[in-house]
Chains A and B, each alone.
Chain A
């Protein structure tokens, strides 16, 4: 039955390959750090909050993916700003069915929970002052920037047809064809008046001037973590720092603000009626901002697109409601008269400056264009901020779970204990029932366990996979499923022996049949795991992931370990002699010896 080829695929070689794989996985597992699986919050203590978006009734009851993305971005900023190592924000699902899962290890306080779900606001505020975000560091920014004609990254706002690729940000009315030279681009100086994104970009990207390359229009490109201590205490001690008056204290707060500190770029609700001291989203620039001149709710649309003025590059088009248009015309009119940096306005989302374009002239009519050296991604990101920042999704706290470290430890212990007990029971059963063959199964289980452990560690390190209690349970349950594969195979071998085959032939023929069954059955298990994974939330997911992973490991072990090992063992005299302890002796299988001869007939008929 066994095809000759089948028999000739050297079992020894397969085993050697597997051994090499195990060694490689072992090295990978124990080389890096940590070399234990990453544990979920329910096993080490921590807080998990599940937030679900609630559609704004006015918006037709739907939550778009873009809105969601924007919301998650804001939440992520807030969480990153907490400065707790290994905090995570993940999403599942889409639209109104989405869940945002925030995991914060350790013990957390109430304020953090409260702040997570607060709705973010977008507004436009005139810039009163700006400065390098790193208070103490000399802005090594831009020696070379100055040389190039227009490498400054600062965006400009103009009304729709801005022509010149003004490297500097400027705001213009839509019919303006004025080639904007870049006043703000003379960025070379140190100190306070640096235009925002020059800072980051000049140091990192090549400043050598192809205008298209480096400068990012949104100063917000790279969200970094951070935090702020400030003399004027902001709401609940978190940024933004706000004050009702532009007084000395506020100035001092501005001077003291260090955007490089943890928490400084966390963001948080900002009162539009107050002055604001805050950082750009990437922490490169700090701003002192006026009260909100236009609220984000007045923005009716924002799109990113290729410049229509023929100069190429991406730009962001912005439209205001009629109220917004009036307000915007007024404020741009005022700003246009001022000197840099006070000719800019900050686009502030959740207390952080997304972008601060400069203004050249009053923009009437409610249509504006923000130009600058945008990459497509930057332009789209800014457009999303403008569009959805003003229509934030309201978030409901669906579930909060705080697990104390003590309880986590208890659960971990219990999980490990249950796993050990389960493994032990299965091993005992297999050995009693299958004797020597049972030992093969035990060895296979141990190999599977080793691979699974290695994968947990590696996945934890590489992909952030965290093993939860449900995941541990999934792994324990998998012991049974894995062992089932061996049972199927062994029973098949026994069947073949009952058919009258020689041991060796039975090992091969049995495998060919068992293989199909194992694959089909494991496929169904795997299918269940995949469906569970994609359609569930929270702990169910962890379980599904482990179950799916272990199913794959099961198949791999059955093919690369159990099968070749059995194949080798069948050649030994121990098994071939029909030893009582082999688990395959015809006697024990109830085969009557005199019956054995004919191979393809049913034994019962034989005699």
Chain B
């Protein structure tokens, strides 16, 4: 534990730094591949929609000793239309679930009676769900409406609270999470029910929670940054990411624990239904949300920010300063004056666009040693520790 504490400290101080921003192309590539798979899944296989979306009838027979075959025979005996197309499955502890095409209330009563007789279960104990064919379209429409309204509101809020570039980055990360979650559903063929939709919509809040936490630190670290020449926006943001890394991990773990327990109980105890569907979507979404707030949201935000003239100017100044050998790292540069770690990464990659690292060059940056990345304008790097030990990732 205390090793984790030390790591956290080193991350905070910048003694250990992972270059999330500089290596963004790598993360983009990884996400791109996953998203591509998600799209292939979505358009190739499509989603396995539950009866709430397709319309249909579902009967749940509680704890019974009857077999799936008996249940199927019973349904067919009831003689309702589509009975031969019934899907009969065993779920949870001895429950049997039967799904048929849409039935009228009368027909469903017929099935219930037949099941009750054949399987020896009281009629009142059989759960019934009938969904009209158009209902699914309606709830889908509302979910999409909700999604759009939410995105607009969030964009407005984040633009006001941070600024529009960060808002866009946060939304990009959010869509990334949504798409991955949906894609995983398509690829695995997990059933999509209204509970799944709830889960997916909740991811909205979750994914943004993480992102907001990180961005808050980014905002703090980059306050007044343009008046200095110590670090570029990307560097400051990357420091923020590292500083909040432990926090992100902790919030994610803490958020996932209850979700995981719903999943465990939902699958183990009930077998199927609301709890499982909800928790599964949440689990996937939250995991994706944690990933994206670190690897997608901030890098995208940096890219957008670096487009601004003042940020370009800043980057130029920083480069010039470093090139000019003026890299005396005075330790006491409390740039923001706020007493926070005002984002200073001492020896740095010169350029936010620096591509992927050729191996995390270690720089000696002892006391005053200006780590001036003059020529090799690349290396996103590990910041050095005073012992000049760079921890490689």
A residues touching B (Cβ–Cβ < 8 Å)? 1, 42, 50, 52, 97, 99, 107, 110, 113-114, 396-407, 410-411, 413-415, 417-419, 421-423, 425-426, 429-430, 432-433, 469-470, 473, 476-477, 479-481, 483-484, 487-488, 491, 494-495, 498-499, 509, 513, 516-517, 520-521, 523-525, 527-529, 531-532, 534-540, 543-544, 547, 587-591, 598-607
Additional A-B contacts beyond A425-B257, A433-B1, A544-B198 (12; CB < 8 A):
A42-B274, A404-B127, A405-B125, A410-B269, A414-B269, A429-B253, A477-B255, A537-B138, A588-B2, A590-B8, A603-B9, A605-B329
Q: Return the 10 tightest CB-CB contacts between A and B, nearest first.
A: A590-B9, A605-B331, A422-B258, A590-B6, A480-B255, A528-B205, A535-B146, A604-B13, A421-B261, A418-B265
What class of interface size applies to chain B in its complex with A? 35 or more
Q: Are B339 and A599 in contact (CB under 8 A)?
A: yes
Q: Are A403 and B341 in contact (CB under 8 A)?
A: no
Interface hit among B26-34, B180-188, B207-215: B207-215
Q: Are A52 and B12 in contact (CB under 8 A)?
A: no
Contacts of A483 in B (CB 8 A): 254-255
The B255-278 residues at the A interface (CB cut-off 8 A) are 255-262, 264-266, 269-270, 273-275, 278
B224 CB to closest chain A CB (Å) equals: 14
Contacts of A397 in B (CB 8 A): 105, 130, 132
- Which of B125, B243, B337 is A495 in contact with, Cβ under 8 Å? B243
Q: Does B303 contact A (CB under 8 A)?
A: no
Q: Are B150 and A1 in contact (CB under 8 A)?
A: no
Q: Are B201 and A396 in contact (CB under 8 A)?
A: no
A–B Cβ pairs within 8 angstroms, 26 of them: A110-B106, A114-B105, A397-B132, A398-B131, A399-B52, A400-B128, A404-B62, A423-B258, A426-B258, A470-B274, A476-B259, A480-B258, A487-B254, A488-B213, A488-B247, A494-B8, A499-B340, A521-B208, A524-B208, A527-B153, A536-B142, A539-B195, A543-B198, A543-B278, A590-B8, A590-B9
Q: Are B385 and A604 in contact (CB under 8 A)?
A: yes
The B111-159 residues at the A interface (CB cut-off 8 A) are 124-132, 134-135, 138-139, 142-143, 145-146, 149-150, 153-154, 157
**CB nearest neighbor in B for A601:** B332
Contacts of B40 in A (CB 8 A): none
Q: How far is it, in angstroms, between the C-alpha of A470 and the C-alpha of B247 when the chains are bound?
A: 29
**CB nearest neighbor in B for A469:** B274
- Given that A402-B127, A473-B262 are contacting pairs, would A517 and B205 also be in contact in the complex, using a CB cutoff of 8 Å? no
Q: How far is it, in angstroms, between the C-alpha of A412 and the C-alpha of B260 when the chains are bound?
A: 18
Q: Does B251 contact A (CB under 8 A)?
A: yes
Contacts of B15 in A (CB 8 A): 604
Q: How far is it, in angstroms, between the C-alpha of A495 and the C-alpha of B154 when the chains are bound?
A: 28
Q: Does B90 contact A (CB under 8 A)?
A: no
A102 CB to closest chain B CB (Å) equals: 13
- Given that A421-B264, A422-B257 are contacting pairs, would A499 and B341 also be in contact in the complex, using a CB cutoff of 8 Å? yes
Q: How far is it, in angstroms, between the C-alpha of A559 and the C-alpha of B202 when the chains are bound?
A: 24
Q: How far is it, in angstroms, between the C-alpha of A404 and the C-alpha of B6 when the chains are bound?
A: 55
- Which of B125, B213, B243, B258 is A404 in contact with, Cβ under 8 Å? B125
- Which of A97, A399, A544, A547 is B129 in contact with, Cβ under 8 Å? A399
B residues touching A (Cβ–Cβ < 8 Å)? 1-2, 5-10, 12-15, 52, 60, 62-63, 105-106, 108-109, 124-132, 134-135, 138-139, 142-143, 145-146, 149-150, 153-154, 157, 161, 194-195, 197-198, 201-202, 204-206, 208-209, 212-213, 216, 220, 243-244, 246-247, 250-251, 253-262, 264-266, 269-270, 273-275, 278-279, 282, 329, 331-332, 334, 337, 339-341, 344, 346, 385-386
Contacts of A417 in B (CB 8 A): 265, 269
Q: Which of B10, B15, B109, B198 has the most CB of A within 10 A?
A: B198
**CB nearest neighbor in A for B339:** A600
- Given that A487-B247, A525-B205 are contacting pairs, would A399 and B257 also be in contact in the complex, using a CB cutoff of 8 Å? no
Contacts of A525 in B (CB 8 A): 205-206, 208-209
- Given that A42-B274, A425-B260, A480-B255 are contacting pairs, would A537 and B124 also be in contact in the complex, using a CB cutoff of 8 Å? no
Q: Are A426 and B257 in contact (CB under 8 A)?
A: yes
Q: Are B258 and A476 in contact (CB under 8 A)?
A: yes
Q: How far is it, in angstroms, between the C-alpha of A399 and the C-alpha of B138 when the chains are bound?
A: 11
A471 CB to closest chain B CB (Å) equals: 10
Contacts of A535 in B (CB 8 A): 142-143, 145-146, 149
Q: Are B5 and A521 in contact (CB under 8 A)?
A: no
Q: Are A411 and B216 in contact (CB under 8 A)?
A: no
**CB nearest neighbor in A for B156:** A527
Q: Are B250 and A487 in contact (CB under 8 A)?
A: yes
A476 CB to closest chain B CB (Å) equals: 5
Q: Are A517 and B213 in contact (CB under 8 A)?
A: yes
A45 CB to closest chain B CB (Å) equals: 8
Q: Are B125 and A523 in contact (CB under 8 A)?
A: no
- Given that A113-B105, A402-B128, A590-B6 are contacting pairs, would A418 and B246 also be in contact in the complex, using a CB cutoff of 8 Å? no
- Given that A418-B275, A491-B250 are contacting pairs, would A480 and B257 also be in contact in the complex, using a CB cutoff of 8 Å? yes
Q: Are B5 and A107 in contact (CB under 8 A)?
A: no
| Total A-B contacts with CB atoms under 8 angstroms apart | 293
Q: How far is it, in angstroms, between the C-alpha of A588 and the C-alpha of B5 when the chains are bound?
A: 5
Q: How far is it, in angstroms, between the C-alpha of A169 and the C-alpha of B116 when the chains are bound?
A: 56
A403 CB to closest chain B CB (Å) equals: 5
Q: Are B251 and A528 in contact (CB under 8 A)?
A: no
Contacts of A599 in B (CB 8 A): 339
A339 CB to closest chain B CB (Å) equals: 47
Q: Are B202 and A528 in contact (CB under 8 A)?
A: yes
Q: How far is it, in angstroms, between the C-alpha of A220 and the C-alpha of B216 when the chains are bound?
A: 59
Contacts of B337 in A (CB 8 A): 600
Q: Are A605 and B257 in contact (CB under 8 A)?
A: no
- Given that A469-B274, A481-B255, A536-B143 are contacting pairs, would A531 and B149 also be in contact in the complex, using a CB cutoff of 8 Å? yes
Q: Are B265 and A540 in contact (CB under 8 A)?
A: no
- Which of A426, A494, A527, A603 is B154 in contact with, Cβ under 8 Å? A527
Q: Are A477 and B146 in contact (CB under 8 A)?
A: no
Q: Which of A396, A432, A483 has the most CB of B within 10 A?
A: A483
- Which of A470, A491, A543 is B246 in contact with, Cβ under 8 Å? A491
B236 CB to closest chain A CB (Å) equals: 13
B3 CB to closest chain A CB (Å) equals: 9
Q: Are B134 and A524 in contact (CB under 8 A)?
A: no
Q: How far is it, in angstroms, between the C-alpha of A402 and the C-alpha of B57 when the chains are bound?
A: 11
- Which of A99, A488, A498 is B13 in contact with, Cβ under 8 Å? A498
Contacts of A494 in B (CB 8 A): 8
Q: How far is it, in angstroms, between the C-alpha of A252 and the C-alpha of B351 when the chains are bound?
A: 97
Q: Are B62 and A407 in contact (CB under 8 A)?
A: yes
Contacts of B254 in A (CB 8 A): 426, 429-430, 480, 483-484, 487
B195 CB to closest chain A CB (Å) equals: 7
Q: Which of B7, B60, B105, B344 has the most CB of A within 10 A?
A: B105
**CB nearest neighbor in B for A116:** B105
Q: Are A52 and B8 in contact (CB under 8 A)?
A: no
Contacts of B60 in A (CB 8 A): 404, 407
- Given that A469-B275, A487-B251, A604-B385 are contacting pairs, would A399 and B130 also be in contact in the complex, using a CB cutoff of 8 Å? yes
- Given that A418-B275, A484-B254, A536-B143 are contacting pairs, would A477 and B332 also be in contact in the complex, using a CB cutoff of 8 Å? no
Q: Are A527 and B138 in contact (CB under 8 A)?
A: no
Q: Are B339 and A488 in contact (CB under 8 A)?
A: no
Q: How far is it, in angstroms, between the C-alpha of A402 and the C-alpha of B149 when the chains are bound?
A: 32
Q: How far is it, in angstroms, between the C-alpha of A532 and the C-alpha of B146 when the chains are bound?
A: 6
Q: Are A529 and B258 in contact (CB under 8 A)?
A: no
Contacts of B204 in A (CB 8 A): 528
- Which of B5, B126, B138 is A589 in contact with, Cβ under 8 Å? B5
**CB nearest neighbor in A for B104:** A397
- Which of B197, B262, B339 is A499 in contact with, Cβ under 8 Å? B339
B301 CB to closest chain A CB (Å) equals: 15
Q: Are B124 and A404 in contact (CB under 8 A)?
A: yes
Q: Are B209 and A602 in contact (CB under 8 A)?
A: no
**CB nearest neighbor in A for B122:** A404
Contacts of A430 in B (CB 8 A): 254
Q: Are B209 and A473 in contact (CB under 8 A)?
A: no
- Which of A402, A513, A604 is B220 in contact with, Cβ under 8 Å? A513
